[in-house]
Amino acid sequence: MSDTSAPAYRRILLKLSGEALRSPGSMDNISPEIVARIAEEIAQAHRAGVQIGLVVGGGNFWRGAKASVRGMDRATADYVGMLATVMNALALQSALERAGVPCVVQSAIEMKNVAESFIRLKARSYLDNNKIVIFAAGTGNPFFSTDTTAALRASEINAEVVMKATSVDGVYDADPKKVSGAKRFDTISYQECLERQLKVMDSTAFTLCMDNKKPIIVFDMHTPGNITRALLGEPIGTTIS
């Protein structure tokens, strides 16, 4: 990875899994060491001139869909999940600020003591002024995933690309954890993803990206340096366009 390479993108939306903030096998929901490592990788790209919006899931604390299957009202379960994303957003904000990066959390649910309310034009102004913006509490509505939040916020802030950091190194024609010899795609079209029924994102998020012509890059975030490489536009993972 070259420190002198010019970033390929001016503004991106990075979607992080909440479960990626937890150390495997640990009882802690958030690992400060992992969050610090992620923050430093993001900070490197920020210092190179990339404007970054962030959406982080809440799966390390809570999954609304699973709770609803066990008898909890689905809307209530989803609101609990939105609050989980706020906790993760605040942890990332703290780590980014320690890494020397100015950072703002905007929440789709009003909670003025810990985060600003989401205002689209204000978010874009922060990005223009080289602040990272973390979009918390999902869309503010139940029944929508944080993938959908990422697709929606990417369109609202005019991000050039949606980057989805996951536990696999791209999009495969079958689950590589279950199917030996599954083929990874370097590039693939939206249409082919639909025809092959590849589960890149939930259908609402995927359709939003497709309709608004937002390329999606899926990559493995657990390999050290990969987040920085992706944010700087180095070839990595799978690009869907």
Question: Is 142 marked within a binding site?
Answer: yes
Which residue do the tokens 């096998």 mark? 25
Under the banding of pLDDT at 50, 70 and 90, the label for residue 130 is: very high
Residue 224 assigned as binding residue = no
Distances (CA, A) of 96 to 5, 6, 44, 45, 195: 22, 22, 11, 12, 40
Which tens digits make up the pLDDT trace of 138-149? Answer: 999 999 999 999
DSSP 146-188: HHHHHHHHHHHTT-SEEEEEESSSSEESS-TTTSTTPPEESEE
Structural domains of the chain sorted by starting position, each given as residue range(s) with its CATH number in brackets: 11-240 (3.40.1160.10)
205-225: per-residue pLDDT in tens? 999 999 999 999 999 998 999
Residue 2 annotated in ligand binding:
no
* Residue 78 is assigned to a ligand binding site: yes
- Residue 27 and residue 41 in contact, taking contact as beta carbons nearer than 8 Å: no
121 is in an annotated binding site: no
DSSP-based three-state secondary structure for 106: strand
Q: Is 169 annotated as a binding residue?
A: no
